[in-house]
């Protein structure tokens, strides 16, 4: 297949492109190649470089900054996605759109299934949910993949943020009233590569198995990194002072994946150990204050 990936230089794109390139003609673009907010540029790019499948990762992903810049969030995440879906319709390409657990409000008792009604509580979640609706209304052949709490090489993420903080401070304060499913970009990429072979179009939750709070996640990072002498204290979301509200529970059940007989992703703690092994040899620049 000819597969075009938007947001290719982002965290997920960095993991996904090499996986796709093993079996497909895959290439990536970023904002320098084509700004997804520019409908004419998007249409011209896809006509001159037509893929069979477009994997759309590009997004305005800073959840707190989205609160201050709702217009950029909507233009990028909602209208940018609409522009790409419309261009795919023009050239007859299928699309895979990566969405988020933040489309849910977090009030559900158990895990959210694919059929549960989204009700986002922040600007980022609303803009991604609008993006989903554009994909559904414009295209017949689409996958919507809701991922959550991503980490991996090639991007700012919770795991490396915690490691860096732990090398600079003796006490870390981490939110304990939000629960979700940490997801390693390598594992998500491998599953996306399997999913696109099925042509079983539809909406999928794809996350690491099991769930935890950010506090438990931070504890596991330090435990597995064998870092002693750093205390992690639980705090509430209110105490964290973040601009955007987050769902208290954004655990996603990966039911649709099971229904098409694809294996679930490994448990989040197994995945975390794998990621820490991956970055073990890397210079994370802990002593560089500008990192």
Ligand X SMILES: NC(=O)c1ccc[n+]([C@@H]2O[C@H](COP(=O)([O-])OP(=O)(O)OC[C@H]3O[C@@H](n4cnc5c(N)ncnc54)[C@H](OP(=O)(O)O)[C@@H]3O)[C@@H](O)[C@H]2O)c1
| Residue 60 binds to ligand X (criterion: CB under 6 A) | yes
| Residue 120 binds to ligand X (criterion: CB under 6 A) | no
| Residue 182 binds to ligand X (criterion: CB under 6 A) | no
Give the β-pairing of 53-56 and 142-147: unpaired
219, 227 in Cβ contact below 8 A? Answer: no
Q: Which stretch binds ligand X (CB under 6 A): 6-14, 107-115, 220-228, 239-247?
A: 6-14
- What residues between 26 and 55 interact with ligand X by CB under 6 A? 30-31, 35-37
In the complex with ligand X, which residue's Cβ is closer, 188 or 232? 188
Q: In what order do the strands lie in the sheet with 94-100?
A: 25-29, 2-6, 53-56, 94-100, 142-147, 202-205
Q: Which of 60, 112, 124, 151 is catalytic?
A: 124
Member of 3, 4, 5, 10 binding ligand X (CB under 6 A): 10
| Residue 58 binds to ligand X (criterion: CB under 6 A) | yes
Q: What binding mask, one character per residue, do residues 61-100 give for ligand X by CB under 6 A, x or -?
A: x--------------x---x-----------------x-x
List the beta bridge partners of residue 260: none
Told to judge if 124 belongs to the known catalytic residues of this protein, a careful annotator would answer yes
206, 188 in Cβ contact below 8 A? Answer: yes
In the complex with ligand X, which residue's Cβ is closer, 161 or 200? 161
In the complex with ligand X, which residue's Cβ is closer, 66 or 172? 66
Q: Over the range 37-55, which residues count as b (16 or more CB within 10 Å of their CB) and which as e?
A: bebeebbebbeeebbebbb
Member of 3, 4, 12, 135 binding ligand X (CB under 6 A): 12
In the complex with ligand X, which residue's Cβ is closer, 145 or 172? 145
Q: Which long-range contacts (CB under 8 A, 24 or more apart) does 154-157 make?
A: 154/9, 154/10, 154/11, 154/13, 154/14, 154/15, 154/185, 155/10, 155/11, 155/12, 155/14, 155/185, 156/11, 157/11
Residues that bind ligand X (CB under 6 A): 6-7, 9-13, 30-31, 35-37, 57-61, 76, 80, 98, 100, 128, 147-150, 155
């Amino acid at each position: 297949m000819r597969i075009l990936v938007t947001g290719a230089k982002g965290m997920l794109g960095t993991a996904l492109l090499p996986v796709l390139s093993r079996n497909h003609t895959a290439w990536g673009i970023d904002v320098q190649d084509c700004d997804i907010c520019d409908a004419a540029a998007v249409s011209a790019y896809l006509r001159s470089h037509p893929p069979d499948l477009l994997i759309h990762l590009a997004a305005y992903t800073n959840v707190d900054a989205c609160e201050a810049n709702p217009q950029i969030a909507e233009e990028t995440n909602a209208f940018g996605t609409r522009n790409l879906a419309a261009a795919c319709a023009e050239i007859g390409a299928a699309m895979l759109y990566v969405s988020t657990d933040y489309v849910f409000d977090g009030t559900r008792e158990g895990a959210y299934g694919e059929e549960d009604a989204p009700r986002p509580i922040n600007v980022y979640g609303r803009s991604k949910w609008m993006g989903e609706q554009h994909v559904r209304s414009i295209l017949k052949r689409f996958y919507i993949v809701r991922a959550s709490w991503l980490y991996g090489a090639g991007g700012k993420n919770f795991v490396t943020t915690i490691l860096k903080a732990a090398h600079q401070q003796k006490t870390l304060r981490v939110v304990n009233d939000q629960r979700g499913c940490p997801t390693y970009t390598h594992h998500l990429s491998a599953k996306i590569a399997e999913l696109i072979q099925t042509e079983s179009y539809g909406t999928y939750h794809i996350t690491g198995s099991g769930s935890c709070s950010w506090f438990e996640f931070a504890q596991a990072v330090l435990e597995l990194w064998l870092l002693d002498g750093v205390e992690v204290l639980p705090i509430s979301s209110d105490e964290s002072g973040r601009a955007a509200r987050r769902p208290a529970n954004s655990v996603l059940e990966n039911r649709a994946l099971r229904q098409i007989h694809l294996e679930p992703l490994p448990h989040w703690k197994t995945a975390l150990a794998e990621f820490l092994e991956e970055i073990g040899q890397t210079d994370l620049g802990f002593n560089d204050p500008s990192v």
